[in-house]
Structure 1
Amino acid sequence: MKRYEPPAGWTVQAYRFALDPSDAQVLGLRRNTGAARFAYNHMLRRVSAVKAQRAAEASYGVAEADLTPWQGWSLPDLRRTWNEIKQWVAPWWAECSKEAFNTGLANLSAALGNWHASRTGTRRGRRMGWPRAKKKNGRRSARFTTGAIRVDPSYRHVMLPRLGRIRTYESTRKLARRVRAGTATILSATVTETAGRWFCSFQVAVQRAVGRRPAHAPKAGRVVGVDAGVKHLAVLSTGEMVPNPAPFKAALRKLGKAQRRAARRIGPYDPQARRKRTASNRWQRAQDAVARLQATVSAVRADSWHQLTTRLAQQFTTIVVEDLHVAGMVRNRKLARSLTDAAPATLRRHLGYKTGWYGSTLYVADRWYPSSKTCSACKTVKPKLSLAERMFHCTTCGLSLDRDVNAARNLAALVRHVDLELLGDAKPGRGAYVRPVRPASAGGAAGREASRPVHPVNVARQRTTANRESRLLTER
């Protein structure tokens, strides 16, 4: 399936609304999401059977031309096969939207494509295994791309194919006004169930004035360095320390109590008899309580990061962050829980597209740049600085301040001369090489939901002789 490319001046983002469906609508939502799961599992079994049959025939010396015909896993091939067999394998197919089945087939095509790319080496990262079947108690989701997909003029309902008019908990005024004004076009709608609650996410192509700042946004400064941490969500070079809500830590006591209660209930598996059994209603209610706590933790964490990154993109013209190796940092078992709770990699991901929305510039410092060990006043680099030392003391100039504030100031100082060079006021100093990258256009890098980076990160490179690390800013 070809990715949608918006025209120039348009970006693709998501609008997510919590639904308040009736009991009959809940059954319809579950029916359509179940249809997506059924189509995925059935076609996966078919592809697996053909793959095993061909391997068995090849082991007996059957020629390639005489092997069982291969079942293609592209979306058109899967859809063509499904339309031929759906009358026999799913006689109830007419009760659900065709988009529900297409959701499962599209997910299977993507999963098999990723598996093949991983085996051939064209996909980076850890080697992927063969796709697994989706379980009934897994994540329920279905995507609608055609049909009646719109927001109601009453600002309190959404329209979905085969599901009708569903009430929302919050107002849809922002999206409805954009659609009415012609500055937004709804591309698709995805319904998901999270901890017993249903949500609808609209993928929307929006005409956005890139670089336009809100009238209420104050002009706090030009350059800011942001040091993501654990004790504080982020520390700015201005001296501001953004508190970390630590939602998982706050809910740990309640979560532990709920999980112990769920462990005492009769679940769907009997460990003594080693067989499946019917789960009790109390077990299901206990599992739902655990899921609600986990969803609350995730929502609080996402809200804190969105508020911070939006404020940074609106108030500052240049933002500098670090390229953190979070996957390696969480290997420290003493910091793994706190790091995962803070989710420091979210900072760069959100700023990647929000800086493009508000006309800011994002720079990413190299992973090995010693921002914490370098004195922000005299640029002296300490040979060692343990994690337990929370205050930075410079033996050369006598500077003493919080180590995170010191690191944030060093990050901000990396690109201050970049802005001066762009303005023509000064040149890079002391033999430094600077190559600023300007932001991309609003429409050239879209095609993803708002939870993913839309605009490429603006990067600069700088070389210095102050320390052994020659790369301070690296292109990503």
Structure 2
Amino acid sequence: MKTVQAYRFALDLAPRQERAVLAHAGAARVAHNWALARVRAVLDQRAAERSYGMPEEHLTPAVGWTLPALRRAWNGVEDEVAPWWAQCSKEAFNTGLDDLARALKNWTDSRAGNRAGRPVGFPRFKSRRRSVPSVRFTTGAIRVEPDRKHVVLPRLGRLKLHESARKLARRLDNDTARIMSATVRRDGGRWHVAFTCEVERSARVASRPVSTVGVDVGIKRLAVLSTGELVPNPRHLGGALRRIRGIGRAVSRKAGPDRRAGVRPSKRWQRASVRLARHIADAGFAEIRRQLTYKTSWNGGRLITADRWYPSSKTCSGCGTVKTKLALSERQYQCEACGLALDRDLNAARNLAALAAQATTAGSGPVAARGADQKTCLRGQVAVKREPGTATAGKTGTVPPQGGTTNHALTKAH
């Protein structure tokens, strides 16, 4: 089984190397802005001509904005627009053109209704101060050195890693991975390199009995497993916002830039401002589901997701009775029919584990995903309408395939 996987490592760049990377990122920004200005000028001209009543056949010819079309246009003007282009790798300019081609395609697909999700706006110009420096390499010398502490990239040469790349190097040495691209990017004051690789994974065979695990995700606790294990919510966002408020007060006491007087910011102001970047990887339900999806597929498992209407919290995991109302403030589930009393999240997790097991034994396959237009059913039966004493189901459950050993998960956030 082949899959695409990314390996990301921090870099320790020398000042000369950092200047070279910034030059490549600037070249990508120049190519992006030039191509965007060209496309925008033609679109504005055609719109103005239409407003004058000019027929379509007499309008200014449209320009193509696919990556090959943008490349051909750039190659014809690179000596005029960027006379220093030979100092940077061609991959730098290709990075900016490729980003614009993707952005324009997303914009057109969104307008035509061919793209799901929120509407996508027209691409914007990239600012030297606000845009994140980034450059991507897809051809040339891209490799990990034998010492596993250095990588080699086109035109940038040998770069030192802050950590060992042994995990990626082992796969490359065993011919189970192939590097497709390498992206150098600055995040929060530190440079990183991310390798996009095509990885060959062998199918894992289960050596232990098939098991099912229910996972209920929530606010108070990040996840509650049907086995009783509790995963606390780290609340990264709240802690980061408290640190940001303190850093903001510290920045206000330091000498910042003054463009009118030509005063450059102090070194302490620059260091404090770098920590103000609000790039916070907060724990979220979508991230948990994303990781469960690919990890279960890598390990031979199967992910089953309950739909939004499934009442995992309201259903008793002991007898199957469904409550009509359950306030969010009620953290303990109390069944009036059988007297069961336990944590509401643990009750939901057990219900999800039972739903996953029932879906597998019934042979009905995965249940409807979150957001489906119909309720979760198993062989024509709604999961919540079962006889007392039978297996119950919940918001998240995991079920491995027949003969497999890895667990599957069924999840639902509430």
Fold match by TM threshold 0.5: yes
**Equivalent residue, structure 1, for 2:215:** 226
Does the C-alpha gap of structure 1 residues 467 and 37 become closer, same or farther in structure 2, counting only changes over 3 Å?
A: same
In the alignment, is the contact (CA less than 8 A) between 2:335 and 2:341 conserved in 1? yes
Please say if residues 47 and 71 of structure 1, whose CA atoms lie closer than 8 Å, have aligned partners that are also in contact: yes
Please, which runs of 5 or more residues in structure 1 have no aligned partner? 1-8, 299-340, 422-427, 429-433, 439-459
Q: Is the 8 A contact 1:230 1:342 kept in 2?
A: no
Determine if the alignment matches structure 1 residue 102 to structure 2 residue 91. Answer: no
**After superposition, what is the alpha-carbon deviation per residue over 1:142-185, rounded to whole angstroms, capped at 9, x for unaligned?**
11000000100111100000000001011112212221221111
Matched letter for residue 164 of structure 1: G
Relative to structure 2, which stretch is displaced further, 51-60 or 79-88? 51-60
Tell me the equivalent position of 2:189.
Answer: 196
1:224–1:205 CA distance, 2 compared to 1 (3 A): same
Aligned Cα RMSD in Å?
A: 2.9
Q: Of residues 405, 428, 435 in structure 1, which corresponds to 2:364?
A: 435
Pair 466,151 (structure 1): closer, same or farther in 2 beyond 3 Å: closer
Are positions 1:253 and 2:246 aligned together? no
In the TM superposition, residue 210 of structure 1 has moved relative to its aligned partner by 2.4
User: What residue number does 2:381 align with?
Assistant: 464
Are the counterparts in 1 of residues 214 and 394 from structure 2 also a CA contact under 8 Å? no
Q: Work out which of the residue numbers 122, 126, 131 in structure 2 matches 1:130.
A: 122
Does residue 80 (structure 1) correspond to residue 59 (structure 2)? The answer is: no
Q: Distance in 1 between matches of 2:10 and 2:31?
A: 26
CA–CA separation in structure 2 for the residues paired with 1:461 and 1:397: 25
Is residue 249 of structure 2 the alignment partner of residue 290 of structure 1?
Answer: no
Could you tell me which amino acid in structure 2 is paired with residue 436 of structure 1? G
- TM-score between the two structures when normalised by the length of structure 1: 0.74
- AA paired with 1:66? H
Read off the aligned partner of 1:401 and give its amino acid letter. L
Retained in 1: the 8 A contact 2:215–2:223? Answer: yes
The answer on whether the counterparts of 1:210 and 1:356 sit within 8 Å (CA) in structure 2 is: no
How far apart, in 1, do the equivalents of 2:242 and 2:382 lie?
Answer: 50
Amino acid at match of 1:369: Y
Q: Which amino acid aligns with 1:157?
A: H
Contact 1:211/1:360 (CA < 8 Å) preserved in 2? no
Give the one of 321, 324, 328 matched to 1:383.
324
Letter in 2 for 1:114: N
Change (3 A) 1:241 1:104: same
Match for residue 211 of structure 1?
Answer: 204
CA distance in 2, matches of 1:121, 1:472: 34
Deviation at residue 126 of structure 1 after TM alignment: 2.5
Secondary structure of 2:381 counterpart: coil
Choose from 165, 172, 185 the match for 2:165.
172
CA shift digits 1:238-279 (9 cap, x unpaired): 111112222222333322111233356676789xxxx99866
Decide which moves more: 95-104 or 126-135: 126-135
SS state of the match for residue 19, structure 1? strand
Structure 2: gaps of 5 or more residues: 368-375, 387-392, 396-409
1:262 aligns with: 251
Distance 1:160 1:382 in 2: 61
State the shift of 1:67 in Å: 2.3
Match of residue 30 from structure 2? 38
Q: Which moved more, 1:59-68 or 1:172-181?
A: 59-68
- Count of aligned residue pairs for this structure pair: 381
SS in 2 for 1:251: helix
Instruction: Identify the residue that residue 397 of structure 1 maps to in structure 2.
Output: 338
Q: Counterpart of 1:184?
A: 177
Q: Which amino acid aligns with 1:173?
A: R
Q: State whether residues 461 and 472 of structure 1, in contact with CA within 8 Å, keep that contact through their aligned partners in structure 2.
A: no
Q: 1:472 to 1:386 in 2, by over 3 A?
A: closer
Q: What one-letter code is carried by the residue in structure 1 that aligns with 2:194?
A: S
Partner of 1:21: 13
Give 1:416 deviation, angstroms. Answer: 1.7
Superposed CA deviations along residues 53-91 of structure 1, whole A, max 9, x for unmatched, are 122222223333332222211111111000101100111
Distance 2:325 2:178 in 1: 55
Matched, 1:59 2:51: yes
Alignment partner, residue 401 of structure 2: none
Within 1, Cα distance between the matches of 2:86 and 2:343? Answer: 65
Map of 1:280 onto structure 2? 265
1:371 aligns with 2:364: no
Provide the residue aligned with 2:400 in structure 1. none
Q: Is this contact kept in 2: 1:13–1:205, CA < 8 A? A: yes
Opposite residue 203 of structure 2, the aligned amino acid is V
Distance in structure 1 (CA, Å) of the matches to 2:312 and 2:147: 52
Identity %: 52
Match of 2:154 among 146, 161, 185: 161
Is the contact between residue 366 and residue 472 of structure 1 (CA under 8 Å) also seen in structure 2? Answer: no
| Structure-2 change in CA distance of 1:466 and 1:34 (3 Å) | closer
Structure 2 residue 137 is the aligned partner of structure 1 residue 144: yes
For the 8 Å contact 1:35–1:96, the answer to whether it is kept is yes
Q: Return closer, same or farther for 1:267/1:81 CA change in 2, 3 Å cut-off.
A: farther
